[in-house]
Amino acid sequence: MTKGLGTWGVGLGLMLLVVPGLASPAAAQSRREMQMMADIRMLQEQTQQLQQQLTAAIDQLAATLKTITGRVDEQATATRKSFADQKLSMDQFGNDLRIVRERIDENTVRITNLSQEVEALRLAIPQFPATPMTPPDPGAAPPAGTTPDAAPTTLPTPAAPPVALAPGMTPQRLYSTALADFTAGQWALCIEGFNMYIRSFPRTDNTDDAQWYVGECFQQDGKFTEAIDAYNRVISGYPKGDRVPDAYYKRGIALGQLGQIDRARESFEALMKQFPDNDLARLAKQQVDRLNRGKPQ
């Protein structure tokens, strides 16, 4: 009995020694887990703080971007308005300038018409000598140094006044009438009308056109020699007129019709040289190419 108790006591003692040894690793493991949990919670808190800071930064950035966008929109709106105002001002200025030009053109036309009317009136008024010649008195004594039987002194014949236009025939009406005859193919009337215009109004803007139409009437009537002479008058008489290129070109055509190929080529080449930017210069080059190839016009 005493021996049994002793054995049990020894076993109990061994158990008491073993249990603390077994509990020590478990306690250490528990402390590590608790430390890890604490670290995890700390990281979670730091992550939440970072997220909050990031969210605040994004919100602040969005607000700043919105402000900048608003200012850019305002600036763009102001710029568009400024451009629109400038365009409106430019359009208004262009419209005003167009109106001024139209009025200047109208006044120029009126002045031209008035000048032609004055010229027509001047030509319509008969011209008389400044000092009329008094016929000699048959009963008066003959001048000294002459005999009574000498022949009477012959009076100088006054110069014939220029042909007056018909009443109511204005320069524009005369030109329009001749142009209507040209359109109708009345070549003789057309030539007569334009020649009358040239004689009556030699200094108007339409005088070179009238001379050119004389050449056109002759050319349409098949009178190429007379047409060439009329075109020469345009070139020599109105060198600064706008009909000179047309005269060079039509003169070349008429010369070609007469078989004068070299002179026709010279007329076309003169047009190309003096008026290279004119549309007729391109047609003149085509005519020169045809003449060089020996093809008819």
Strand, helix or coil at 248?
helix
Closest-CA residue to 248 (of 232, 262, 259, 261): 232
Of the CA atoms within 13 Å of residue 117, those in its CB half-sphere come to 7
State how far the Cα of 47 lies from the Cα of 53, in Å rounded to an integer.
10
Q: Kindly state the greatest CA–CA separation across the chain.
A: 220
At 150 the pLDDT is: 42
Which residues, 6+ apart, have CB-to-CB distance to 252 below 8 Å?
264, 265, 267, 268, 271, 284, 287
Helix ranges restricted to H, the chain: 2-124, 171-183, 187-200, 207-220, 224-237, 244-257, 261-274, 279-293
Amino acid code (one letter) for 37? M
State how far the Cα of 116 lies from the Cα of 108, in Å rounded to an integer.
12
At 82 the pLDDT is: 85
At 208 the pLDDT is: 95
Q: Is 154 exposed, middle or buried (0-12, 13-18, 19+ CB in 10 A)?
A: exposed
At 51 the pLDDT is: 92
State how far the Cα of 155 lies from the Cα of 136, in Å rounded to an integer.
9
285: DSSP letter: H
Of the CA atoms within 13 Å of residue 141, those in its CB half-sphere come to 3
> What is the DSSP code string of 146-207?
--TTSPPPPPPPPPPPPPPPPTT--HHHHHHHHHHHHHTT-HHHHHHHHHHHHHH-TTSTTH
At 131 the pLDDT is: 47
State how far the Cα of 178 lies from the Cα of 216, in Å rounded to an integer.
12
Tens-level pLDDT at each residue, the chain (297 residues): 555 556 656 565 656 555 555 557 777 888 888 899 999 999 999 999 999 999 999 999 999 999 999 999 988 988 888 888 888 888 888 888 888 778 787 776 667 666 666 665 555 555 444 444 454 555 545 544 444 444 444 444 343 344 455 555 688 899 999 999 999 999 999 999 999 999 998 888 899 999 999 999 999 999 999 999 999 999 999 999 999 999 999 999 999 999 999 999 999 999 999 999 999 999 999 999 999 987 555
At 145 the pLDDT is: 46
Q: Are 217 and 194 in contact (CB under 8 A)?
A: yes
Closest-CA residue to 160 (of 192, 206, 128): 128
